[in-house]
Amino acid sequence: MSADSARALQLLKLMSALPAPRDAAKLAELTRIAAKMEGDYGAGSYCVGEGEQRRCRQLGELEQVLASSRDYNEQLDAWQGWHSTARPMRKDYQRFVELANEGARGFGFADVGVLWRSGYDMPPAQLASETDRLWEQVKPLYVQLQCYARGKLDTQYGKDKGEVPGGLLPAHLMGNMWQQDWSNLWDLLQPYPGAGDLDITSALEKQYQGNLTAVLARNTGGVGGATARFNAEHEAQLRTAKQMTERAQEFYTSLGMPKLPDTYWQRSQFIKPLDRDVVCHASAWDMNMGGEANQNIGADVRTKMCIQPTEEDFTTIYHELGHLYYDLAYKPLPPLFQNGANDGFHEAIGDTIVLAMTPKYLQSIGMVGEQRTGREALINWQMRMALSKVAFLPFGLMIDRWRWGVFDGSITPEHYNQAWWELKAKYQGVAPVSARGEDFFDPGAKYHVPGNTPYTRYFLAHILQFQFYKSLCQAAGHQGPLYECSFYRNKDAGQKFWSMLQRGSSQPWQTTLKELTGNDKLDAGPMLEYFAPMSEWLKQQNQGQMCGWQAAAAAPASTTTAPAAPR
């Protein structure tokens, strides 16, 4: 058997994150449970009140409370409300694990976690060691960021509310339902207010308002009832979402990559539909499903999003298009090689582009005004990036640490929630402000758990993207500090990137990485180089503080009866 054939067979074996049991009845049961959990997540709603006073809010509305409110109790209610929606999944998830593990054993793996860890061209145990090594590289930077954030929360809410005993961050105060991205705390964490104004959200909101005015003027002459305005708002939202996506596409085409096919614009979901519940978590889809594109139709790639005119969604579009351009690049390969070099590569492509969205780039596309230069503006920019890139790292690690334990049985169903919060305290330095007993199922409040999407890929992607970025900056001939580089409109960088994308999964990822970067090892060095100015600044700001935290001080598990689960 040729090396290519052997590799293709191994990839086929590892292709599914949800291995099927051989028994037909159990397969049907597993399929039903998986669909039910994902459906329950998408329909999740937190309701309060009775009769005409009853008010229900879905995830997007509750996330907005965490993002914009600075009322301690209002944020706590939104956070607890969403987490309560996952409680009914607990029994389903336990059975889901049993059935999926049976399927994994049928493929020759001890459990699903071992199956997942086997897809990295190295022994499963080595992947765990590699991620531990990378975490130790970046942990000192995260500890400084956590320390700085804790001090700012103490200032905002008082020390009794701004932190949980032991130096832990309150889970509901981090501007994000899962504390994986702290960008929404910019108003509290901005180092130098006004230095280097980069209010992308305001620019996008202005664009939306302009579209709304134009639609209203066209449809009603500027007047009309509530229904006319509602329809106009929906149309303006769609128009703005497509404009944001066109802007993201233009970055890729500026590198010499092709435009997305016409079918992309016809078949993608850009905003939340009015007639049904959907999972709004952003995703990218290759609808050719490992086959060759029909020469008469072309490739069928799509995104599924509920785009709002915000900075977060703007950068998410750039990320999702990275998946699609990877799909397009490796489409000529045999079907089993039509995938990323590893799943971390797939997640890193678009984020590499996001790193190149420097203030100078944003100014060039009219998203922000003329930028001040100087140390204060630099530290502000680096902090903005760190609140998403650095704050994410421990979260990207802990989700699969929890699932690996669940799959191998070291975390039993009786301790699902306790283990979840122990890991969040250990890695993220965050904790709930009240006890979260085993009558809750807080892991199910994160899409990737009921959706059964492996998560280590996102941690690896946050390391890889800086390695990719540095290599492309070198290809573009960049001179100067790494953090100043944008390879926008540079065809040399684009060709080097495209060549890597075309490799797909046809060879070990280490070989593909070396072809691009000259290094076949995962390395957080480029990330640390990028954030070096902010790292030194944080150390200065944190002088005299007791940085670090005591994970054992997190709120203990409790058997206290929780409020009734919302419908």
pLDDT digits (tens, 9 = 90+) for 392-410: 999 999 999 999 999 999 9
pLDDT band at residue 137, thresholds of 50, 70 and 90?
very high
Neighbour-count burial of 194, counting CB atoms closer than 10 A to its CB (0-12 exposed, 13-18 middle, 19+ buried):
exposed
Least confident of 2-16, 102-116, 251-265: 2-16
Among residues of the chain, what percentage have pLDDT more than 70?
Answer: 95
Q: Which amino acid is at 236?
A: A
Q: Please give the torsion angle defined by the CA atoms of residues 241, 244, 250 and 251, in that order, rounded to the nearest 10 degrees.
A: -130
Flag whether 319 is marked binding. Answer: yes
Residue 11 has pLDDT above 70, yes or no: yes
CA distance 215 to 231: 9
pLDDT band at residue 465, thresholds of 50, 70 and 90?
very high
Least confident of 184-198, 382-396, 482-496: 184-198
What's the confidence (pLDDT) of residue 562? 38
What's the confidence (pLDDT) of residue 565? 32
Residue 500 has pLDDT above 60, yes or no: yes
What's the confidence (pLDDT) of residue 477? 98
Residue 563 has pLDDT above 50, yes or no: no
Per-residue pLDDT of 169-198, as tens digits, reads 999 999 999 999 999 999 999 999 988 777
Averaged confidence pLDDT in the chain: 93
Domain 3-196+372-542, CATH among 3.60.40.10, 1.10.8.60, 1.10.10.10, 1.10.1370.10: 1.10.1370.10
CA distance 529 to 255: 25
Residue 520 tokens read as 């076949």
Residue 293 has pLDDT above 50, yes or no: no
pLDDT band at residue 15, thresholds of 50, 70 and 90?
confident
Least confident of 73-82, 113-122, 245-254, 554-563: 554-563
What's the confidence (pLDDT) of residue 205? 96
CB 22 within 8 A of CB 108: no
Flag whether 120 is marked binding. Answer: yes
CATH 1.10.1370.10 in the chain: give the residue spans.
Answer: 3-196+372-542
pLDDT band at residue 223, thresholds of 50, 70 and 90?
low
Neighbour-count burial of 23, counting CB atoms closer than 10 A to its CB (0-12 exposed, 13-18 middle, 19+ buried):
middle
Neighbour-count burial of 274, counting CB atoms closer than 10 A to its CB (0-12 exposed, 13-18 middle, 19+ buried):
exposed
As a whole number, mean pLDDT of residues 429-439 equals 96
- The stretches of 503-550 forming alpha helices (DSSP H) are 509-517, 525-530, 532-541
Per-residue pLDDT of 328-352, as tens digits, reads 999 999 999 999 999 999 999 999 9
Q: DSSP secondary structure string, 265-304? A: HHH-B-S--SSS----S-EEEETTTTSPPBTTTB--EEEE
pLDDT band at residue 289, thresholds of 50, 70 and 90?
low
As a whole number, mean pLDDT of residues 369-397 equals 93
Residue 353 has pLDDT above 50, yes or no: yes
What's the confidence (pLDDT) of residue 270? 97
Q: Which amino acid is at 133?
A: R
CB 275 within 8 A of CB 308: no
Flag whether 281 is marked binding. Answer: no
Residue 291 has pLDDT above 60, yes or no: no
pLDDT band at residue 419, thresholds of 50, 70 and 90?
very high
What's the confidence (pLDDT) of residue 225? 80
As a whole number, mean pLDDT of residues 509-528 equals 98
CB 324 within 8 A of CB 303: yes
As a whole number, mean pLDDT of residues 37-57 equals 93
Residue 276 has pLDDT above 60, yes or no: yes
Residue 62 tokens read as 């509750």
pLDDT band at residue 566, thresholds of 50, 70 and 90?
very low
- 448 has catalytic annotation: yes
Per-residue pLDDT of 18-27, as tens digits, reads 999 999 999 9
- 136 has catalytic annotation: no
pLDDT band at residue 553, thresholds of 50, 70 and 90?
low
Q: What are phi and psi of 47, to 5 degrees?
A: -120, 140
Active site residue: 163, 235, 311, 320, which one? 320
Residue 440 has pLDDT above 80, yes or no: yes
CA distance 368 to 197: 7
Q: Which amino acid is at 479?
A: Q
Residue 331 tokens read as 């489409």
> Among all chains, which residue has been given the structure tokens 């409109």?
489
Query: Judging by DSSP bridges, how do beta strands 55-57 and 46-48 pair with one another?
Result: antiparallel
* Torsional sign, CA 524, 526, 531, 532: positive
What's the confidence (pLDDT) of residue 567? 28
What's the confidence (pLDDT) of residue 398? 98
Residue 81 has pLDDT above 60, yes or no: yes
CB 513 within 8 A of CB 125: no
Residue 554 has pLDDT above 90, yes or no: no
CA distance 431 to 150: 12
As a whole number, mean pLDDT of residues 470-494 equals 98
Active site residue: 281, 415, 448, 478, which one? 448
Is residue 29 within a helix (H) or strand (E), and if so which, with residue range?
helix 24-42
CA distance 304 to 208: 20
